């Protein structure tokens, strides 16, 4: 491929426009290590000093983007925003709605989750607008599933609008994608340099010192793990242990990384004991094997693999390729089900005719056009103010698909019009009254 995409970004979406670009070595950079040591040629992109400079530059880019994301996500006040949502009352619904919309499209999963759970304050029509304005919410399966658990489950045609976000890259996702690009660049250079210094056969002492300095940069917890085991191999287990203990303070660990760290500490303790006892890996006692089995069975991340590698010497590890394959199949099955559900909702949306209100904003009256559905004798329109307070209702006939509503008695502000049939909400829409 010889296409270099040009990025166009606005507040909602990103479009990639193909553009021809000349092929260079950077189009498909090598990930192979330079092999048996020595010093690279200055100016060569694979020269260690060049790689190091590129890595540090990319690391600075990651830091800058992380700072920007922190400032933009939830307006930089995630905890405060969640507290405001959780403590809100129905009369504050419109105020909360405006606050969340003003921080879109940079709302976090946690804030949207709080809005979904506050169903006695934030009605479906407002929640729909919030989630549509934040397309990243459509990629969060837990959020989509929770829409059915509200006191009044969100109607399918509203969910279809939210699910359409699966086809849109939001501004927040764009920033996270750029951050991911530079993070991968850092990881690639870091891995390359690590392999270079580990395979150097010309000046092993200098390479080992350079490797230690490289790992001390601490780009990821994995680098600290690798350096800790280098200390262990050098006969300094306590130094490695001290380094591992600094990880929670040096890194903001997510739930997976925290579990991985706990497993790694357990594994390191076993390896330290093996070294202090002058044991070989094929001569472990029953207690040590039980501890390794516990890590291989219930552990997380790298330590799980390390423990399994030792247990393979005894034929005791059942963590096989089939486990990974079955996991992958289950993931593919879930993705297929989600795609089918999205298609179903799109059909619902295309067949649905939304309530139309005009003029909007209004002063004296509204003309409301209603979808041609089978209305019962109990069909009616209810109007609530932005605080959720009931204002008035209009009874509809079974074949009444258009009606005029007098709103001259309403104060200026925002209102919600709800169409109900046999007590079931069919649609909600907003309108504004002006002087």
Contact 390/382 with Cβ under 8 angstroms?
Answer: yes
CA-based nearest residue to 87, from 76, 75, 99, 103: 99
Helix ranges restricted to H, 299-355: 302-311, 321-351
- Residue-wise pLDDT for 164-209, tens only, equals 888 888 888 889 989 888 888 888 888 788 777 777 667 767 777 7
**pLDDT at residue 1 in the model:** 42
Q: Which two tokens stand for residue 378?
A: 């109990």
**What whole-number distance in Å separates Cα of residue 125 and Cα of residue 162?**
11
**pLDDT at residue 235 in the model:** 85
Q: Which two tokens stand for residue 304?
A: 């799980």
**pLDDT at residue 13 in the model:** 46
Instruction: Give how far Cα 374 sits from Cα of 230, 342, 390, Å.
Output: 74, 26, 25
Task: Measure CA 314 to chain center.
Answer: 40
CATH code of the domain occupying 356-433? 2.60.40.1930
Q: Is the dihedral of CA 66, 69, 73, 76 positive or negative?
A: positive
Instruction: Calculate the dihedral angle through the C-alpha atoms of 171, 177, 181, 186, rounding to the nearest 10 degrees.
Output: 100
Contact 93/126 with Cβ under 8 angstroms?
Answer: yes
Q: Which two tokens stand for residue 301?
A: 């991340």
Task: Measure CA 50 to chain center.
Answer: 33
Instruction: Calculate the dihedral angle through the C-alpha atoms of 94, 95, 101, 102, rounding to the nearest 10 degrees.
Output: 150
**What whole-number distance in Å separates Cα of residue 199 and Cα of residue 18?**
40
Spell out the residues 6+ positions from residue 208 whose beta carbon is closer than 8 angstroms to its own.
197
CA-based nearest residue to 130, from 104, 94, 156: 104
**pLDDT at residue 335 in the model:** 63
Strand partners, 369: 356, 402
Contact 407/366 with Cβ under 8 angstroms?
Answer: yes
Q: Which two tokens stand for residue 179?
A: 């951050």
Over its length of 435 residues, how does the chain's per-residue pLDDT go in tens digits? 444 444 444 444 444 444 555 555 555 555 544 444 444 555 566 778 888 888 888 889 988 999 999 999 999 999 999 999 999 998 888 788 889 988 988 999 999 999 999 988 888 888 888 988 898 988 888 888 888 888 888 888 788 888 888 888 888 888 998 988 888 888 888 878 877 777 766 776 777 777 777 776 656 788 788 878 888 888 888 888 988 998 898 888 888 989 999 999 999 999 999 998 988 888 889 899 889 989 988 888 888 888 888 888 887 776 544 443 444 444 456 567 767 776 777 776 665 656 788 888 888 888 888 766 667 777 888 888 876 788 898 888 766 677 888 888 899 888 888 888 887 777 778 888 888
**Residues 98, 100, 103: CA angle, nearest 5 degrees:** 110
Domain residue spans in the chain?
34-217, 326-352, 356-433
Q: Which two tokens stand for residue 254?
A: 């997510």
Contact 304/268 with Cβ under 8 angstroms?
Answer: no
- Residue-wise pLDDT for 259-294, tens only, equals 999 999 999 999 999 998 988 888 889 899 889 989
Total number of residues shown for the chain: 435
pTM equals 0.60
Strand-strand pairing, 356-358 and 365-369? antiparallel
Residue 243 preceded by cis peptide, ω within 30: no
């Amino acid at each position: 491929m010889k296409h270099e995409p040009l990025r166009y970004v606005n507040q909602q979406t990103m479009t990639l426009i193909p553009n021809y670009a000349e092929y260079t070595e950077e189009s498909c950079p090598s990930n192979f290590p330079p092999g048996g040591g020595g010093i690279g040629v200055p100016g060569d992109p694979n020269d260690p000093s060049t790689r190091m400079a590129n890595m540090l530059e990319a690391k600075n880019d990651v830091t800058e983007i992380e700072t920007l994301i922190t400032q933009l996500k939830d307006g930089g006040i995630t905890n405060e925003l969640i507290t405001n949502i959780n403590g809100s009352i129905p009369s504050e619904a419109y105020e909360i709605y405006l606050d969340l919309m003003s921080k879109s499209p940079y709302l976090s999963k946690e804030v949207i989750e709080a809005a979904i759970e506050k169903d006695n304050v934030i009605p479906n029509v407002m929640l729909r607008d919030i989630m549509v304005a934040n397309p990243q919410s459509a990629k969060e399966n837990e959020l989509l599933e929770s829409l059915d658990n509200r006191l009044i489950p969100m109607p399918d045609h509203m969910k279809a609008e939210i699910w359409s976000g699966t086809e849109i890259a939001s501004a927040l996702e764009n920033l996270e994608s750029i951050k991911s690009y530079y993070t991968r660049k850092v990881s690639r250079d870091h891995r390359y340099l690590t392999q270079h210094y580990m395979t150097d056969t010309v000046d092993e002492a200098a390479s080992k010192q350079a490797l230690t300095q490289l790992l001390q940069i601490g780009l990821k917890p994995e680098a600290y793990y690798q350096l800790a085991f280098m200390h262990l191999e050098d006969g300094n287990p306590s130094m490695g242990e001290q380094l591992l203990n600094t990880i929670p303070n040096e890194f903001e660990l997510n739930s997976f990384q925290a579990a991985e760290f706990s497993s790694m500490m357990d594994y390191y303790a076993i390896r330290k004991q093996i070294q202090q006892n002058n044991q070989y890996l094929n001569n472990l006692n029953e207690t040590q094997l039980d501890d390794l089995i516990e890590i291989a069975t219930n552990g997380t991340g790298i330590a799980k693999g390390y423990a399994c590698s030792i247990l393979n010497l005894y034929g005791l590890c059942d963590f096989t390729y089939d486990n990974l394959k079955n996991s992958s199949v289950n993931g593919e099955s879930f993705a297929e089900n989600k795609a089918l559900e999205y298609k179903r909702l799109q059909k619902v949306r295309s067949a649905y005719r939304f309530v139309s209100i005009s003029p909007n904003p209004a002063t004296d009256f509204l003309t409301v056009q209603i979808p041609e559905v089978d209305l019962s004798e109990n069909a009616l329109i209810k109007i609530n103010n932005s605080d959720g307070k009931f204002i008035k209702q209009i009874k509809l006939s079974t074949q009444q698909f258009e009606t005029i509503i007098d709103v001259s008695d309403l104060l200026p502000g925002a209102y919600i019009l709800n169409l109900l049939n046999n007590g079931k909400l069919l649609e909600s829409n907003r309108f504004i009254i002006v002087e």
